[in-house]
Each structure stands twice: as C-alpha cells, then as structure tokens.
A = this chain, B = another copy of it.
Amino acid sequence: MAVEHKDMANAIRALSMDAVEQAKSGHVGLPLGMADVATVLWTRYLKHDPADPFWPDRDRFVLSAGHGSMLIYSLLHLTGYDSVSRDDIRNFRQLGAKTPGHPENFVTPGVETTTGPLGQGIATAVGMAMAERHLNARFGDELVDHKTWVVAGDGCLMEGVSQEAITLAGHMKLNKLIVLFDDNAVTIDGGTDLSDSTNQCARFEAAGWATKRIDGHNTEEIHEALSWAQDQDKPVMIACRTIIGYGAPTIAGTGKAHGGPYGAEEIAGIRENIGWSHAPFEVPDAIADAWKREGAHAAGQHGEWKKRHDAAGEKAAFDAALAGELGDIEAIVRAHKQEVVDGGKDDATRKWSGAVLEKLAAAIPEMVGGSADLSGSNNTKAKCQDPMTPDNWAGRYVHYGVREHGMAAAMNGMALHKGIIPYSGTFLVFADYSRAAIRLGALMGERVIHVMTHDSIGLGEDGPTHQPVEHVASLRAMPNMHVFRPADGVETAECWELALKKTDGPSTIALTRQTVASVRKAHTDENLSAKGGYVLSSGEGNEQVVLIATGSEVEIAVAAQEMLRSNGISARVVSMPCVELFAEQSEAYQEETLGKGLPRIVVEAGVRFGWDRWIGLRGGFVGMDSFGASAPYKDLYERFGITPDAVAEMAHALVN
C-alpha cells in the first residue's frame, strides 16, 4: 500500500474520533478539521525529535485551541513519542492517563504548554518566541534557532488576551512565530456570524503581521504557505479555511461538530466519507510506519545540534541557563540585608525591591524583567538591563505596554521555554486582568515572579479602582501560589530570594507605594521570612496578646506594641510575609510562633477573608471590609481605622 497524505491525515482523524467516542466526551471537530494542516506541519516543517521531547532547540508547537487535544495526542503517538501510547489514547480523559481532556505539559512530554482557557496558548507562545530570540542573541544560531508554531481557533482570537499577544508580537517583529488559524467559522453557539464580524487577516496586519489565506484541506496550498512563512520578517498568521468535523455526514461545518461524542452513526459516516475502514483505534502498519518515518524527519538535525552543543564554548553557560541555576544568591541577599540594616533608612518596599533587584539581576543573567507600562512605579528595571527590542534581542527588560494579561502569559512562555527567569510588574489591583494566566502558571508549576506594587489603600489618591482590598486574599486562595508581602527592606530581599528559589510555581511579591518604617533593626544571616512567619518582637515578661501583621501594617503592629507596653500590656509582634510558607511549617513551630492560648489580632490592610485560620476563636482583625476611597493615604488609614490606636484598643478589650 502506497501511503498518501490522505491516509496519514485520516489516522489523526480516526484516532481522535475513536478516543472521543470511547470517552463519551471531548472535542473532535478540530482534529477532524486541522488534520491536513497538522500532517504537513509535523512531517515536513516542525523541527522536533520524537526520541527527545526536551531537545532545547526543537520548534515549539502550541495547540492554543486546547479542547482539540486529541490532535496533539494523535500526533505525539503517531510520530513515535514515548509519552502517548495507544492505551493512553484508549484511555482519553480517564484518571491517570497521559491524555487529559486538555493538553497538560506537566502530564505529557511533547506537550509544550497547558491550554484550554482560550487565548492562553497564543499568548504563551509569544513569550516562547521572545525567549528564543533572546537566547539566540546570547548563544548564537548554532545553539538556538527554532520556530514557535501555534494552532489557534476562532475562540482564541475572540479573547482579548489574543490582542495583547498579537500586538506585542507584531511590535517585536517575532518572525519565527507562525500562527495557524483554524478558520472554520464555527464556535459552540453556532456560526461565528452569531457574534463576530472581524476580518482577522486585516486585524493581524494592523498589528504588523504577514498574513495569508489558504484552503486548509489543500495540501499544496498548505505546503506553499508553510514555506512562505519561513521567509517573512514579521510574525505570520495563516488563516486555514477548514471544515469543522470534516467528514461528518450531517454535522460537519456546524456548531454541533465542535464537541461531544458524535454517536455511532455519524462516526460510521465519517469512516465512509474519508475512506477509513479500519477498526477503532487501529492504524494499519504501513500508515503507522510512514508516520514514524516522516515524524522523525528532523531527527538528523538533532544529532547535528548535539555535536555543536558538545563543541560549543558556551556549553556550560547554556546548560546552566536552561537549568535555571541561581548561583550563590544567599550571599548576595545576606550582604544586601547587612547594608540595609546599616543604612537605617525608611523607604517604600517597591523601592527596596528595586534596590535588591539591582544586585540580583546583575548576578543572574537569566533574569528578564519588565512592566506593563509602570516601570518607574514598579521599580522593576535594573540598571544592567537594556530594553529588549527587535534590534537588541539581548536586552533583558521588556516594555510590555499596557498588557497585564499578555505579559503574564508571555512570562509563562518564557519560563516554559527555559533559559529565562521572568519577572515583571504591575499594580496589584490589576492582577485581576492577568489572573487567568497567573493561574495557568500555578497549575503548570512554572517559576514566574509577579511584582505587584501599590498593594493597598496605602497607594492613596488614585482611589478604590486602584486600591487592592481582596487581591492578596484571592491570590492566597490559589493553589501553588506563594504570596509575599514584605514589611521592609530586609524582608523584601528575603522574599525575593524565596521567590527565585521557588522553582515549582509562581510567586507574587506585593509591595507598597508608600514609605514604610524599617522593622528589622538587627542583621540576621538567616532568612527569617523562609518560615513564612516569625516572632519579630517579643513582649516583656508574660505576653498577653499576639499581634500578627504583614507588609506595611507590621510597623502599625510595632507601634501598637509600644503603646500597649506603656499601658502595662505585654504584646508580641509576629511578622508573616508569606502565609503559605507559614502553613507549611510544623504545628509545633506555628504554635510556638503564634503563642499558645493567647488572643491574636491580625493587622492587614485587606479583607479578613482567609485569616480566621490563624486568628482562632479568641482574637480580632484590623483591616478592610469594604472598598477604599480616594484621599492621601494617611487619611485613609485613619478613615478605615487601621491604626496603632485601633489595634491597641482591640488588644485591651481582648486582654481584659
């Protein structure tokens, strides 16, 4: 049997539809429609090696329309990746299989990023493509020279985050980024004409992309377009007109073809229409062999790359960069803390963050910073960092523009690509804009550092639209996220060290706009923030009450302690810069720190939500229970009653 393109594409179609039928759930419309494009891409253009999903210079393939996950599982299986066996395909969407409902990179080697929430894939891919250009500038074509391919659907392109991604990519002239738009004109509710009239090619062109329209079922047109895409000096979008649910006798090309099992009759009809007579999950040897052979078309390139890599003078630096090693940052942070203590200065924690960043960024060439147009406010740019631009890819600072969501997603992509440790800044309140991408980073376990300044009513006059109240709580609620809220210069440095060392997930560093008092007056070599919370200041004699505070409110707790002391009440102050880390400590340490049986008062200029775990039954909370207001920040602290007086008064009531 001579194996033709059609047979190979049909193998994708057959595996995909059999898997969805077996699981009785999933989305086969996209794999049926995009099988032709994917077959051409994976057998001729995609630089990959099924024997090593982690080859650093492989092309990245991102299925932004993640619901079509059977497309990628079919491709991985057919081209010979170990990660997806025929049994995994039979067990599509079952507990423990390598084939979850949406692609999860942490489950399935060969999947580059986790997708499903629409638009995230394309936005993440922009970060991957930026990482590629940056590392190319650093290590040269010999070690880094690959493309990033994206399959995106109508849904991805309707999501706002796609616009942030597209305009950033266009501005950066990311010519090695190629988006294959599955232009099937259908979404779940029906034809796209129900809800959209956008000329997508014109839209991409307005953002500086090269575009082309093709028939996504015509292999010649596909070949021609993919060849053409290699030679552009800007990012490329190819609108592939496809038929969703290709081959399905009654529902192809309709909203019904998007997802769900089609049922036996429709499936039988597809088999007949596409000329596939084999049993479910069966792929004839000739076709399977052709896939394995053609899937490995770039394996030779991998061999050559290995030789170059072995011979490269930069090999050690390259390997260390990809491993994300930090060097001796403890020493840097220790020395910095000593300086801070010796300096005896009060300042905003965002400025303290900028100060320690100068040293960390200078020592760690993988740190690539940025801000969503608030560089001066977020204090995220170190002097050693030049802007990353199409003319200077070696630059280590990204002016992301007013694109919080695209920025967070791009950082995920940089971290996934490896070779970059991304961090960037915005105002904490705008975590709401980027939350979907922040969450994906937490789910994937990527080291991404979100610097979030202006972290409470302490930002003052900008008012309640800019004042986070519930944001620290809502980020603490997210699994695998560490939220740091340091109290002063020393804690800020300690928290940066901890965030950099958290290699298995993202961190948020919440920082003040306003100046705060230094509370760590004596130097310690030890990183006291590492346990999440610690006794900052003991009371004299028998302690009667414990004041727990974070960030800018620690100085308020210290002032209250002083007031109480003058009234004969002994209070302990606990600083808790990271509740998640504190929760990981032993019960013995927690009890020792928080004081057994003593009443506890938490002071934080945010909502109480989540704090009762630590307050316990006898205690209180001084913080916010509403949105803020516009006024100078000292007026606001008075207005909302977050003052040493209020804390001391509550302590009095609890003690007496």
Contact = CB atoms under 8 A, between A and B. Distances in A.
Interface in A400-427: 400-406
Nearest to A160: B160
Contacts of A442: 627
A609 interface: yes
Given A612-B613, A625-B479, A187 B461 contact: no
12 contacts: A95-B629, A102-B463, A160-B164, A160-B403, A189-B371, A190-B399, A203-B206, A206-B206, A432-B435, A443-B627, A480-B626, A480-B627
Contacts of A433: 117, 159-161, 435-436
A197 interface: yes
A538 interface: no
A88 interface: no
Nearest to A390: B197
A66 interface: yes
Contacts of A170: 197-198
A434 to B, nearest CB: 9
A116 interface: yes
Contacts of A66: 465
A188 interface: yes
| Residue of A115, A159, A160 ringed by the most chain B CB atoms within 10 A | A160
Interface string A458-501: 00111111100110011011111000000000000000000000
Contacts of A403: 158-160, 195
A610 B198 contact: no
B202 A610 contact: no
A497 to B, nearest CB: 26
Interface in A169-201: 170-171, 187-190, 192, 194-200
A356 B309 CA distance: 65
A356 B188 CA distance: 24
B189 A375 contact: yes
A439 interface: yes
Interface in A354-392: 371, 373-377, 387
A503 interface: no
Interface in A134-181: 154-156, 158-164, 167-168, 170-171
Nearest to A188: B373
Interface in A629-656: 629-632, 635-636, 639
Given A610-B609, A610-B610, A158 B402 contact: yes
A107 to B, nearest CB: 8
A373 B95 contact: no
Contacts of A162: 160, 163
A616 interface: yes
B159 A462 contact: no
B477 A470 contact: yes
B164 A463 contact: no
A68 B556 CA distance: 34
Contacts of A196: 167, 171, 401
A170 B158 CA distance: 13
A436 B430 contact: yes
A33 interface: no
Contacts of A462: 25, 101-102, 116
A48 interface: no
B160 A461 contact: no
Contacts of A96: 631
A158 to B, nearest CB: 4
**The 6 nearest A-B residue pairs measured at CB:** A160-B160, A195-B401, A100-B630, A116-B465, A163-B163, A95-B631
| Residue of A171, A206, A442 ringed by the most chain B CB atoms within 10 A | A206
A104 interface: yes
A114 interface: yes
A163 to B, nearest CB: 4
A429 interface: yes
A208 interface: yes
A26 interface: yes
A463 B116 contact: yes
A205 interface: yes
A97 to B, nearest CB: 8
A102 to B, nearest CB: 5
A227 interface: no
